[in-house]
Structure 1
Amino acid sequence: PFSRNHNEKTVSQDQDPGVWALQGHPEVTDAARASLQLRYQLIHYLYTLFYRSYVYGDTVVRPLHHEWPLDNNTLGIDTQFLWGGNILISPFLFQNQKEVKAYLPPSVRWYEVKPQLKIAPQTGQVTIPDSHPNGPPPIHIRDHNIIPMVTDSQLVSTSQDSINIIDLVALPCHHQ
């Protein structure tokens, strides 16, 4: 899938994330690199979502209320989104933002992805500190899923895909 930034409506601004370091903002380049590495780690999952979109009409990116329509807490959320129904992304959207106010629907168990895969300690309204400045955004994976992930994200293009090891992250079902 095509990936680019949306830094300006005109074509005069270079779209290469490396240009930000040259303009005195290396933190933007670092954040873009971390997000692109995460994207490549999850590229097989993302391609599967696009396939399901083509074949079944599923959405690739969706708001939380598409998965939890009866949870009124999800209705006004416009600062988080899901890749498919299983990966929740809660990005830092503002310069110098130190934490994200996020909502993890409590009807399922969530797993934090970074720095290591572990059960999220809380659900509902949570505050996620920026523990990795200029790193990838906070990512949570829903329980009862198998997510393919490229290890160490050494990919620089999908043409190198055949030489990388793919981990299958299997998350157990949690019943409430």
Structure 2
Amino acid sequence: MYSVDVYDANRLRQRWPAWGSLSDYGRLQRLRNGTVDPRYTQTTTNQILVTYLQNLTDYVDPNNSATNISASHLAVGTADTEPVPSNTALGSEVFRTSVGSTTDNGQDLATTTLIGANSANGNTLREAGLVDDATNTFINRTLINPVEKTSDIEVTINASIFHQAL
């Protein structure tokens, strides 16, 4: 599951005058307290990709050795083609950044990433995916409602991976 929050950058700077000097993690912590509401929020599902599933299978196969992959980065792009399990990348990646924070409860992983006012500008963001930056292995991919990225907005993207026993 993904949720995307779009914030007015000027409101953030008014609320926290030192906003521009804070780390991404510091900004995310302030946004979590909810004192500034986003312009809008959306929630969408995502497609887990075969490359990730193959790696999980390799972990339990005694005849294979798995590559350690991590959801270290979030990539965003401009393509609007539906995700399919065989995707190995975004349709048209325009920006990649380190995941800002993670929560791991032993079964599920939740990540939060900030795309600040000075990042990915001039692009209409339509897709996102978690990726292991070291191996360039994409874990999942989703389409989001188009976000016209300018310096007037900051975007947080929350991505979750659920592993459930049936």
Structure ranking higher in strand proportion: 2
TM over 0.5: no
Structure ranking higher in helix proportion: 1
TM range (shorter): under 0.3
